[in-house]
Amino acid sequence: MKNKISIKVLDRDGIYHILNIPTDMSLNLMEACKAYNIPVEGICGGMALCASCQCYIISSHDLVEKTDDEDAMLSEAFNVKKNSRLGCQINITKDLNGLEIQLAPQE
Ligand code: FES
């Protein structure tokens, strides 16, 4: 599909969801999940201040580097793994087609 990418999300109940997300709406991964009613809270609204959008990156996509803010938040969050990222800090671009993520447990 033109201007849309497909992302696979494993939720906390072990269920996979396929999201078809437009690349031209300036969405981030947290917002994309919310648009599909996947239970990602996004309490801080995408400011890298809450970690409620934490997810684990399963596929081997090259993602944008973490900012200092994201690094700092993840260093304080629970259930952080090597492949943890804050969904709100990852913008939806064409390069993310086929991305696979898992939601981190809720704190
Ligand atoms: Fe708060 Fe991502 S929504 S850190």
User: Which residue among 49, 75, 80, 85 has the greatest number of ligand 1 atoms within 8 angstroms of its CB, and so is best to mutate?
Assistant: 49
Residue 96, SS3?
helix
Share of the chain above pLDDT 90, in %: 96
Residues in the chain: 107
Domain boundaries, the chain: 4-103
pLDDT at 36 over 70: yes
Question: What mean pLDDT is predicted for residues 4-25?
Answer: 97
Confidence tier at 2 by pLDDT (50, 70, 90):
confident
Q: Is 105 helix (H, G, I), strand (E, B) or coil?
A: coil
Mean pLDDT across the stretch 37-56? 97
Q: What is the mean pLDDT of residues 65-69?
A: 97
In short, whether 49's Cβ falls inside 6 Å of ligand 1 is yes
Q: Which CATH class is domain 4-103?
A: alpha beta
Contact (CB, 8 A) for 45 and 89: no
pLDDT of residue 1: 63
DSSP-H helix ranges across 1-107: 29-35, 68-76
pTM of the model: 0.96
Q: Is 88 in the pocket of ligand 1 (CB under 6 A)?
A: yes
Q: Residue 107 pLDDT more than 80?
A: no
Closest CA to ligand 1's atom 4: 48
